[in-house]
Chain A
Amino acid sequence: MSEHWSPLLFATVPLTLVTLLRPELVDLPQAWFGACAAWAVVAVVRRSDMEDHVFLYVAWLLAVAISLLDRESFTETAALQGRRLIGVVFGLAVFWKLFFGDFVTGVALWTYGALDDRFAPLMRLVGISPEETQRSFESVEHLAVGHLETLPIEVSTYTSLALVLVAVGALLLEALVAVAYSAPDGGRLERLRVPALGLFGVITYGLVPVLSFATLLALMGSVVARFERRRVVVLVLMVVAASVRSILV
């Protein structure tokens, strides 16, 4: 799930090493504009080799570069940029889930569960046994190659309800993150940002370990939280959850 065009490492690793040797370079907006341009060009040219976290990363590099234009207000500007980007990304995630309609009915989760081993814990939680999952896998495979025209999803009432509850719960959590980060600083919603993002991350990345996205969101979330230690710890937890799950999968 964490794919980007690997030759980009050859541009990024030397740049990282240079900044380790000369940390003052990190303060130069030009360095960030340059990194952003390199990733942006490759993201456009090799679009199909990139996953969505790369596009968010490009926007974030640009955000840091712009924030560095005025060093006095860097922390506040970078926090504002991070807030906006997280709000937009989660807003989009909610939009698509409502737009397609397959998610809120639980059908999308059932289908992923049939095809993707990483969803095995979720399948067990909603009352689908490994044997049933195997049968679902075979049915979906037949459907996917056109050997079946239709496949009615036949599950127990408990499973059906549980799938909808999980889906709606996940959707509400994403919506809460979108709203909390879109809302201005200083209000009640600000206090919900880190708990909502952290809970989303631990649950989602604890199930499907998208480590790259978890790390990027944790970094941006930490900037928005002005690196307040208690909040950063919560965000680091979602990276830990993704890492542990990556090892276990």
Chain B
Amino acid sequence: MPARRALISWLPVGVLVAFVAVQIFLMTTVSADPQSGSGFAMFSTVDILSTRRIVATGIVFDEPITFDIPDDLQEQAMRLRSQPTTARATQLARELAERQWDPVVEGAFARPTSVEVTVWGITAEGRTLSSRAMAAGAAP
């Protein structure tokens, strides 16, 4: 019985460690934001959600355009920044490509002929910060 008691006694720490293990798995597989989730890595690195940006560009009416992410896609964009993967970037590019945009003439809307979505992050090497493309996707 003492062994069982000891096992139960360590359960809370075990649960906490399991949460941390999931976060480490996500950090290594889908570049999950180290600061969010269950890693307890607050303020540890420059590569966090607030230093990650989404740049969405495309062609509308043969003109290059940088898209502002619409309000209803902000949550999706947030998840992409939190876990930048090609699949998520491609999905966001598809969503943007299905919409009508008016880059040149007020009131003249058209679907983009192409959309590229890139998630940019920053890294530190000594006292120098560098930008890096973390994930990218395109549509159609």
Q: State A107–B44 Cα separation when bound (angstroms).
A: 10
Complex contact A52–B51 (CB within 8 A): no
Of A62, A102, A143, the most chain B CB neighbours within 10 A belong to A102
Residues of chain B within 8 A (CB-CB) of A102 are 44-46, 124
Q: Which single member of A96, A101, A116 contacts B39 (CB below 8 Å)? A: A96
Complex contact B130–A111 (CB within 8 A): no
Q: State A147–B39 Cα separation when bound (angstroms).
A: 31
Complex contact B42–A59 (CB within 8 A): no
Residues of chain A within 8 A (CB-CB) of B118 are 146
Residues of chain A within 8 A (CB-CB) of B44 are 93, 96-97, 99-100, 102-103, 108
Residues of chain B within 8 A (CB-CB) of A108 are 43-46, 124
Within 8 A of A (CB), among B2-45: 8-9, 11-13, 15-17, 19-20, 22, 34, 36-45
Complex contact B122–A143 (CB within 8 A): yes
- A47 on the interface (CB 8 Å rule)? yes
Rounded to whole Å, the gap between the CB of A55 and the closest CB of chain B is 4
Q: Which single member of A43, A97, A115 contacts B50 (CB below 8 Å)? A: A115
Complex contact B12–A150 (CB within 8 A): no
A51-B36, A55-B19, A151-B129 are contacts. A145–B50 as well, Cβ < 8 Å? no
Residues of chain B within 8 A (CB-CB) of A116 are 50
Interface residue count for B (Cβ, 8 Å)? Answer: 44
Nearest CB to that of A47 among chain B residues?
B37
Residues of chain A within 8 A (CB-CB) of B47 are 100
Residues of chain A within 8 A (CB-CB) of B40 are 52, 56, 89, 92-93, 96
A55-B38, A146-B133 are contacts. A111–B12 as well, Cβ < 8 Å? no
Complex contact A77–B9 (CB within 8 A): yes
Residues of chain B within 8 A (CB-CB) of A59 are 12-13, 15-16, 19
- A149 on the interface (CB 8 Å rule)? yes
Complex contact B129–A96 (CB within 8 A): no
A102-B44, A146-B118 are contacts. A58–B15 as well, Cβ < 8 Å? yes
Q: State A40–B18 Cα separation when bound (angstroms).
A: 12
Interface residue count for A (Cβ, 8 Å)? Answer: 54
Within 8 A of A (CB), among B98-140: 118, 120-122, 124, 126-131, 133
A100-B34, A107-B127, A108-B46 are contacts. A144–B122 as well, Cβ < 8 Å? yes
Q: State A172–B122 Cα separation when bound (angstroms).
A: 26
Complex contact A92–B129 (CB within 8 A): no
A48-B37, A52-B37, A63-B12 are contacts. A92–B46 as well, Cβ < 8 Å? no
Nearest CB to that of A69 among chain B residues?
B8
Rounded to whole Å, the gap between the CB of A200 and the closest CB of chain B is 12
Q: State A13–B41 Cα separation when bound (angstroms).
A: 30
A52-B37, A85-B16 are contacts. A149–B131 as well, Cβ < 8 Å? yes
Binding site for B on A (CB under 8 A): 40, 43, 47-48, 50-52, 55-56, 58-60, 62-63, 66, 69, 77, 80-81, 84-85, 88-89, 92-93, 96-97, 99-103, 105, 107-109, 111-112, 115-116, 140, 143-146, 148-153, 160, 208, 210
Q: Which 8 A-B pairs have the closest CB atoms?
A: A96-B41, A100-B45, A55-B38, A63-B12, A96-B44, A59-B16, A92-B40, A55-B19
A-B contact pairs, 25 of them (CB 8 A): A48-B37, A48-B83, A52-B39, A55-B38, A56-B40, A58-B15, A59-B16, A62-B12, A66-B11, A77-B9, A84-B13, A88-B16, A92-B20, A96-B41, A100-B45, A103-B43, A105-B126, A108-B43, A116-B50, A143-B131, A144-B131, A146-B55, A146-B120, A152-B127, A153-B128
